[in-house]
């Protein structure tokens, strides 16, 4: 069994290379939030407490177009629904922990921390009895990301006003999401889900308050599930 300290430190180390990608992202969030007219305290507060990059980006953009707060919260919910999958995936590994630990790890549960943690849990060949201190690894990874997210947001907030409009930095949101979406298009149902969500998002763009986004995500989930079932049927008939 490895000590808590050793687990914590190797969690920190595993997270470090990922900071190369998340730090510019956090900085650009800070810049965009200021450009969108958010007060400095609110821009920083969102990073401190919500700690969910893509939804923070979207929220800043929606505030700029004076979307009502309720719609922004609903959009955040839909965009962050994917975290339920991470929560379910980690559940068996944290079952033995106290409720306090679960609340702590859940707060730090982001795409990047999940990716690091699940790799550790799944590739480990130690006996289950030796996994006692794994949660310290997850905590180390999550805390590293949280701290660096605060720093990079603060840098972006400080730069915010000085970045000229002509740099078109708002485009980094679309580019970041492109880099994130490509690896998720693993199979045909996922591609069908993405395409139908994209089409609905374009068609429903005129809807008030960006509600088209929510409609698009729901349409994507439903078509993805239908495509999955269809493929299952077809392959059953073929065999």
Partner 1 sequence: MTLWLMILGMVIVTYSVRLSVMAWLGGDGLPPVIRRGLRYVPPAALTAIIAPALLMPEGRVDVSPGNLRLIAGVVAAVVAWRTRSMLLPIGVGMVLLWVLTAVAG
Of these, 3, 103, 147, 207, which contacts partner 1 (CB under 8 A)?
103
| Burial class of residue 110, CB neighbours in 10 A (0-12, 13-18, 19+) | buried
Of these, 115, 163, 221, 231, which contacts partner 1 (CB under 8 A)?
221
The structure tokens listed for 153 are 């947001």
Question: Measured between alpha carbons, how far is 104 from 190 in angstroms, rounded to an integer?
Answer: 32
DSSP 66: T
Least distance from partner 1 to the Cβ atom of residue 209, Å: 13
Least distance from partner 1 to the Cβ atom of residue 104, Å: 10
Least distance from partner 1 to the Cβ atom of residue 186, Å: 9
Distances (CA, A) of 154 to 17, 20, 45, 64, 138: 20, 16, 10, 19, 25
- The verdict on 27 binding partner 1 (CB under 8 A) reads no
Site for partner 1 in 33-62 (CB under 8 A): 38-39, 42, 45-46, 49-52, 54-55, 58-59
Sign, CA torsion 86/88/89/95: positive
- The verdict on 164 binding partner 1 (CB under 8 A) reads no
Nearest residue to 2 via CA among 126, 141, 144, 142:
126
The answer to whether residues 32 and 153 touch, using CB atoms and an 8 Å cutoff, is: no
- The verdict on 161 binding partner 1 (CB under 8 A) reads no
Task: With CB under 8 A as the rule, give the number of residues binding partner 1.
Answer: 89
From 8-16, 74-82, 129-137, 150-158, span contacting partner 1 (CB under 8 A): 74-82
- The verdict on 233 binding partner 1 (CB under 8 A) reads no
Residue 9 or 204 having the CB closest to partner 1? 204
Least distance from partner 1 to the Cβ atom of residue 84, Å: 5
Site for partner 1 in 165-194 (CB under 8 A): 166-168, 171-185, 189-191, 193-194
Question: Measured between alpha carbons, how far is 195 from 189 in angstroms, rounded to an integer?
Answer: 10
From 7-15, 119-127, 151-159, 222-230, span contacting partner 1 (CB under 8 A): 222-230
Residue 124 or 228 having the CB closest to partner 1? 228
| Burial class of residue 49, CB neighbours in 10 A (0-12, 13-18, 19+) | exposed
Question: Measured between alpha carbons, how far is 53 from 23 in angstroms, rounded to an integer?
Answer: 11
Site for partner 1 in 191-210 (CB under 8 A): 191, 193-202, 205
Least distance from partner 1 to the Cβ atom of residue 16, Å: 14
């Amino acid at each position: 069994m490895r000590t808590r300290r050793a687990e914590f430190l190797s969690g920190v180390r595993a997270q470090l290379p990922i900071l190369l990608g998340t730090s510019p992202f956090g900085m650009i969030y800070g810049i965009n939030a200021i450009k969108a007219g958010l007060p400095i305290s609110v821009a920083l507060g969102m990073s401190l407490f919500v700690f969910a990059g893509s939804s923070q980006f979207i929220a800043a953009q929606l505030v700029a177009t004076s979307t009502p707060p309720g719609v922004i919260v609903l959009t955040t919910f839909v965009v962050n629904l994917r975290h339920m999958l991470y929560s379910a995936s980690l559940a068996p590994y944290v079952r033995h922990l106290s409720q306090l630990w679960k609340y702590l790890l859940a707060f730090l549960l982001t795409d990047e921390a999940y990716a690091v943690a699940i790799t550790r849990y799944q590739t480990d060949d130690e006996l289950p009895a030796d996994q006692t201190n794994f949660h310290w690894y997850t905590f180390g990874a999550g805390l590293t990301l949280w701290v660096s997210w605060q720093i990079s947001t603060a840098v972006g907030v400080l730069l915010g006003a000085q970045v000229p409009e002509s740099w078109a930095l708002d485009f980094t949101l679309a580019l970041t999401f492109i880099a994130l979406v490509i690896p998720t298009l693993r199979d045909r149902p996922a591609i069908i889900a993405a395409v139908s969500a994209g089409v609905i998002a374009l068609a429903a763009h005129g809807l008030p308050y960006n509600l088209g986004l929510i409609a698009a995500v729901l349409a994507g989930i439903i078509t993805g599930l239908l495509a999955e079932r269809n493929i299952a049927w077809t392959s059953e008939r073929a065999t």
